[in-house]
Chain A
Amino acid sequence: MKIGKYEFNDKTQADSKIKALGVETNEEGIEYPTHGHAVVTLGHIVIEEGTYDENGDVITEPVLSDKYHVDVMWQGLENHPYGWSTYAVTPSDNGLHSFLGIDYQEYKL
């Protein structure tokens, strides 16, 4: 098991990379992954907090990352899949997200 962290340009690109890992469609027309990797799409994460009023309306817009963040727990892989390494990042700690109880530094690709 290995963990990779990625920053894609946008959701469309991330979705395309994730789909390329393998999908099929079942008899009810539902698309599902054929791989066993645990993909977590964190999206455009909040870098700077927004402020909201009591009704949930934005007072100050939050600053969101311009990158689309994805973390993956890879099963049975020792290297990034084709097309993923360009977008890999390697923070010096666990970063913004972790798989519960799994140390990124120990298992990072």
Chain B
Amino acid sequence: MATKPSLALIPSAYKASKVYSILPNNGDGDFTFSRGSEATRINKDGLIETVLDNIPRLDYSDGGCPSLLLEPQRTNLFENSSRVNEANTSNFAIGTGQTPTVLSENNLAPDGSLTACEWNFNVGSGVTTDDASLINKSYATTSGVDYTLSVYIYAELDNTKIYIRAAGSIYSLRTLNAGWNKVEVTDTATSTSSSWLIGLRQAFSGGIINSNITVKIWGLQVEEGSYVTSYIPTSGGAATRDNDFISGAGNANLFNSLDGTFFVQMASFLNTQTNSNGIELSDSSGQNRVTIQYDTTNNQIRAEIKVANVTEALFFTSTYDVTNFNKIAVTYKYNEAKLYINGNLISTDTNVNIFAEDTLTEVRSTIAGISSGAFNLQAKIKDLRVYDKALTDAELIELTSN
């Protein structure tokens, strides 16, 4: 496509508090980045790596080119995440089961350290629900609230089966491949305290499963929320990762407020959002903006143009799985706004007032200028662009097609 964007971010370069855009190259399009705590990412070698506070995370967990990881604040409630050993858990057996035991503690872990613990689970010869070998630990919960357990488990053999639970009483069966697996489950707490659980139990939901397994366990995380986020290491106490936020890219000279295109290729972490969250091309107040956001309706993508806080164009679609890296483009000019996703025209509005000249000044990862974290984008960004004209249909198809 011959048309050149006025701002282009393809996550590749950064420093503390800064994400560099590739266009323009004078710094006007660079993002200010903030996160008040350390955090982890998957680096290009596939290892979990801790980065300092205010360091943007280019994450390679999806393979290929990295994406810019923007996550909400979360707390790992399990106090010793890298040492899932007998001292830090409770273990029990019923029926013919044997109490799980740690065989060794200093095994290679997904962060390159020698901290993974090797466990043996054995339910013996029993084949009923009264035969189990389990580890667990209790923690304070709020009844009716979702909690997510995630943990890395290394299996020697493909098709190794194990049960996990975050809270409540439901067992979820997971089938492991040989090597490291990240398994996760979300459950709703039913009281003021709950216990997470890992282990074997026979004749339960999935029927008879393997009765004796040896696996390595590491990186256990229990977080309040309906989906798993990146690993939060803990040692002796719960720990919180602050939320990620980008802002401040661009200025009135860089953007054409009368005629333009706002494009993002990004993926959400879940299909139905807890809170609407998004990204906007906006003025400082958020009263004038072009917003692309995920909604609380399943898989709903919303695009909105607001001029002086009046909605001039509003587009919805729930056609696309928002956890995929969808390519989303919104065009705006007087009496014409369009939404394209993945090469398809979703909708057109031909009754649109437009911003005054030099109104739009910034791209930032929130809605309506609210930077407190409540509506901050929760997603992975692979590509973000602003064009200083409304692209043609042919250009939009090319830009948003895979």
B partners with A: yes
Interface stretch of the complex, out of A12-20, A82-90, A93-101:
A93-101
B232 touches A54 (CB 8 A): no
Q: How many Å from the CB of A97 to the closest CB on chain B?
A: 4
A77 interface residue per 8 A CB criterion? no
Give the number of chain B interface residues (Cβ < 8 Å).
Answer: 51
Known interface pairs A33-B374, A36-B373, A62-B138. Does A51 touch B90 (Cβ–Cβ under 8 Å)? Answer: yes
| A-side interface mostly | loop
- Among A35, A53, A56, A102, the most chain B Cβ lie within 10 Å of the Cβ of A56
B138:A100 contact, CB within 8 angstroms: no
Q: How far is A99 from B401 in the complex, measured between Cα atoms in Å?
A: 41
A96 and B237 contact, CB distance less than 8 A: yes
Query: How far apart are B204's CB and chain A's nearest CB, in angstroms?
Result: 9
**B236 contacts chain A at the CB level, 8 A cutoff:** yes
Cβ A57 vs Cβ B169 within 8 A: yes
Q: Please name all residues of chain A whose beta carbon is closer than 8 Å to the beta carbon of B165 when the two chains form the complex.
A: 56
Nearest residue in B to A44 (C-beta to C-beta)? B140
Contact B368 A26 (CB under 8 A): yes
Assess the B142–A43 pair: CB atoms within 8 A: yes
Determine if B242 is an interface residue (Cβ-Cβ < 8 Å).
Answer: yes
- Whether A106 is near chain B, meaning CB under 8 Å from some CB there, is no
| A53 shortest CB reach to chain B, Å | 8
**Of A34, A44, A100, which one neighbours B372 at CB under 8 angstroms?**
A34
* CB < 8 Å neighbour of B36 from A26, A33, A50, A73: A73
List, in ascending order, chain B residues with CB within 8 A of A34's CB: 370, 372
B12 to chain A, nearest CB (A): 24
Contact B242 A99 (CB under 8 A): yes
Bound-complex Cα distance A85 to B167 (A): 34
Cβ-neighbour of A100 out of B92, B193, B195, B232 (below 8 A)? B232
Q: Are B140 and A64 interface neighbours, CB within 8 A?
A: yes
Docked complex Cα distance between A96 and B94 (Å): 32
- Assuming the A-B contacts A75-B36, A98-B237, are A49 and B140 also in contact, with contact meaning beta carbons closer than 8 angstroms in the complex? no
Q: Given A26, A57, A73, A99, which contacts B370 in the complex, CB threshold below 8 Å?
A: A26
Residue-wise, chain A 40-67 has the 8 Å CB interface mask toward B (1 for contact) of 1011111001111111111001101000
**A100 near B38: Cβ-Cβ < 8 Å:** yes
Chain B residues in the interface with A (C-beta under 8 A): 36-39, 50, 52-53, 73, 75, 90, 92, 94, 129, 132, 134, 136-140, 142, 165, 167-169, 191-195, 197, 201, 232-233, 236-243, 275-276, 368, 370-375
Give me 16 other A-B pairs in contact (C-beta within 8 A), A34-B372, A98-B239 excluded: A1-B36, A35-B372, A42-B238, A46-B140, A50-B138, A50-B195, A51-B90, A51-B138, A54-B201, A56-B194, A58-B191, A73-B36, A99-B239, A100-B240, A101-B38, A102-B38
27 example contacts (A-B, Cβ-Cβ < 8 A) are as follows A1-B36, A26-B368, A30-B275, A30-B374, A32-B375, A33-B373, A36-B371, A38-B37, A38-B373, A40-B73, A42-B75, A46-B139, A49-B138, A51-B138, A52-B195, A56-B169, A56-B195, A58-B193, A62-B138, A64-B140, A64-B193, A94-B237, A97-B238, A98-B237, A98-B240, A99-B240, A101-B50
Interface positions of A (Cβ within 8 A of B): 1, 26, 28, 30, 32-36, 38, 40, 42-46, 49-58, 61-62, 64, 71, 73, 75, 94-102
